[in-house]
Amino acid sequence: MTSMIYEIRVDGRLPQHSREGFCGLQLEEVPMGLILRGLVIDESHLLGIISEFRRLGMSVVSARPSSRSDRAEGLPISRSPARTSSRRPARRLRRRAS
């Protein structure tokens, strides 16, 4: 996996004291929860972000590469060339039963 901009949707609200753990990602509160956008450098980075939400008791609804239109909003863009042949589509994560 090469570095790319991701959009991560989460159910619930992120406590103010927990926002430091997601530095480098844009946080946007929406009526259905929270959207994070930013550069994810590799699969372990993405899994670390998802693990942090689980540790906080929050459900990750989806994590997917962001569309090109999001890159026009001033987010950092990866300098590495994209490898389309080895890229897998993002999958929807299941919600945990509470």
Reported as a single tens digit per residue, the pLDDT across 5-64 is 999 999 988 888 888 888 888 999 998 899 999 999 999 999 999 999 999 999 999 999
Q: Where are the alpha helices (DSSP H) in 23-91?
A: 43-55, 68-71
- Compute the distance between CA of residue 8 and CA of residue 10 in angstroms, rounded to an integer: 7
- Compute the distance between CA of residue 51 and CA of residue 17 in angstroms, rounded to an integer: 17
pLDDT category of residue 96 using cuts at 50, 70 and 90: low
User: 57, exposed or middle or buried, with CB in 10 Å at 0-12, 13-18, 19+?
Assistant: exposed
Superfamily (CATH H level) for 4-67: Alpha-L RNA-binding motif (3.30.70.1560)
pTM, 2 dp: 0.64
Q: What is the largest CA-CA distance in the chain?
A: 41
- Compute the distance between CA of residue 72 and CA of residue 18 in angstroms, rounded to an integer: 28
3-state class of 49 per DSSP? Answer: helix
- Compute the distance between CA of residue 54 and CA of residue 78 in angstroms, rounded to an integer: 27
